[in-house]
Chains A and B, each alone.
Chain A
């Protein structure tokens, strides 16, 4: 197994945060699935905006307001191109994936009746479970869950039988945050559309790792977060098919989302502003735009190939450890490997690894139903990005040996 042509050292030079010691050891940051790090280019874009161009958007006639508006709308165009949406009207800025999903659940709410059904899967993050559970509690609708198998593969052949005339939406993750499974979302969308059911895809874990083309996927909604793809926290995107966004009512009221307001009548703004009440996260959007520029500059094919190489290396090395059980062994995976070690609690593992400079996530990964399925309270999860190295994986493996000696 050899590394594809990929100059990871020069990429690492773009990420100032990676060059530090933790507890006297070089930092090995293997927790990008929780939140990825930002390159200097993104930090500079945010700094430049606040240092030179900040004013409120879509408001003033003065120069700074024009500049801020141009930069904010420029970021929207970058997002549109990044996921190949038809128009920028289909790109709604939100605070993150969670808010994007809540937006759809809230706006869809009034049209959902008792006895209707919402279909999700067993591998969803809490953010793609709880908004639907809340909608079901409000409306009397029923939540149905597509099962997974012991490898963490979604049982997609069950979907046709689980869809019926009352199914109002299928919400499914593109890539599982706890298991790393890449779902065959294009065929899932096609299956649902055959029955006339719209599909929301949770793309939080996907956009860092692979190209996303919403027109090719033919999905109705696609939600993702800036901070999981080298952008800032507090910014995310809801892509919605134009016909859907036109049909749905706004979910929050305020400035920006209206054209005219009297005490008797309100005329809502056009898309996408109908869904962006209040002053938006302008700097966040600009930072996300810079992150998109950066990812495209590195090349998404290069990123995917290098990450595949890293993930194979990680999985091979973990599999050689006695008493270690891999959780999530689907054939098609991205960037994540969860595991448990006999006799060692994940939090003890996390603390010992931190002491050796290795940052991983431990716990339930906001996916308690997945933990229940595998019969574990939590797992340790190493997750990768294109700025990681095999040396960092070696550091993880060495630290695991220390943990086993101390605790097992």
Chain B
């Protein structure tokens, strides 16, 4: 099945950076009321660079895999660059826009969700939360 490519299942089975970091400067919760999935994204900053990106929470395979990929893609990026990447990832997952971003190569494994309209929000959940965390808001964002 296109939506459950091996790369996706691999991130789901062993998610990267699914933990609470030692220090947290920004965090936000992504909530999908359709299924109750809730992810918290954490950023630790050093000189306006994302020194640590992690997440916690529960979700479907798509939501967890996407969150895992998100932490890898954003790790070590300056804030402005992270914003660009988040926008590009959301545009790709939600609208099928293919970005010229080497850092999103792994995330492209999720493009199969485009065939399943009801699952796109699962894939964008962690990225929506990351965008809210970047805004510096200790807040909850909803997919609806």
User: Which residues in A have some Cβ–Cβ distance to B below 8 Å?
Assistant: 345-348, 351-352, 355, 362-364, 368, 371, 377-378, 406-407
Closest A residue to B37 by CB, please name it: A377
| Contact between chains at B35 and A347 (CB < 8 Å) | yes
For residue B85, which residues in chain A have a CB less than 8 angstroms away from its CB? none
- With a cutoff of 8 Å between Cβ atoms, the chain B residues found around residue A348 in the complex are 4, 60-62
Q: Contacts A351-B119, A371-B36: A377 and B3 contacting too (C-beta < 8 A)?
A: no
- Give Cα A355 to B2, complex, Å: 10
When distances are taken between beta carbons in the complex, the residues of chain A under 8 Å from B116 are: 351
Q: Which residues does chain B contribute within 8 Å of A345, judged by CB atoms?
A: 35, 37, 59-61
- The interface of chain B, by Cβ under 8 A from chain A, is 1, 3-4, 9, 12, 34-37, 58-62, 116, 118-119, 122
- Name the residue on B nearest A368 (C-beta): B36
Checking A355, A362, A363, A377 against B58 with a beta-carbon cut-off of 8 angstroms, the contacting residue is A377
With known contacts A378-B35, A407-B61, A347–B122 Cβ distance under 8 A? yes
A363–B4 CB distance below 8 A: no
Give 11 pairs: A residue, B residue, CB < 8 Å, sorted on A: A345-B35, A345-B59, A345-B60, A348-B61, A351-B4, A351-B119, A362-B35, A363-B34, A377-B36, A377-B37, A407-B9
Give the complex CA separation of A407 and B1 in angstroms: 12
How distant is the Cα of A407 from the Cα of B65 in the complex, in angstroms?
12
Nearest-neighbour CB distance to chain A for B47, whole angstroms, equals 38
Q: A345-B59, A345-B61 are in contact. Are A351 and B3 (CB under 8 A)?
A: yes
Kindly count the residue-residue contacts between A and B in the assembled complex, taking CB atoms under 8 Å apart: 45
Q: How far is the CA of A362 from the CA of B1 in the complex (A)?
A: 19
**Chain B residue at smallest Cβ distance from A356:** B1
A371 vs B36: C-alpha distance in the bound complex, in angstroms? 10
- State whether B3 touches A378 (Cβ < 8 A): no
Contact A377 B119 (CB under 8 A): no
Q: Are B36 and A378 in contact (CB under 8 A)?
A: yes
- Contacting residue for B1 out of A346, A352, A364, CB 8 A: A352
Residue of B nearest to A346 (CB): B35
Distance to closest chain A CB from B24 (angstroms): 25
Closest B residue to A402 by CB, please name it. Answer: B1
Q: Which residues of the partner chain A approach B1 to less than 8 Å between Cβ atoms? A: 351-352, 355, 406
Chain A residues with CB below 8 A from B36, complex form: 364, 368, 371, 377-378
A33: min CB distance to chain B, Å: 18
CB–CB B35/A352 < 8 A: no
Complex Cα distance A348/B63, Å? 10
- The 9 A-B residue pairs with the shortest CB-CB distance in the complex, in nearest-first order: A377-B36, A345-B60, A347-B60, A348-B61, A348-B60, A347-B35, A355-B1, A378-B35, A363-B35
- Complex Cα gap A352–B12 (Å): 15
Using CB atoms, name the residue of chain B closest to A376: B36
In the complex, what distance in Å separates the CA atom of A364 from the CA atom of B36? 8
* B129 nearest CB across to chain A (Å): 17
CB-CB under 8 A from A368, the residues of chain B are 36
| CB atoms of A407 and B4 under 8 A apart | yes
Contacts known (A377-B36, A378-B35); A406 close to B4, Cβ less than 8 A: yes
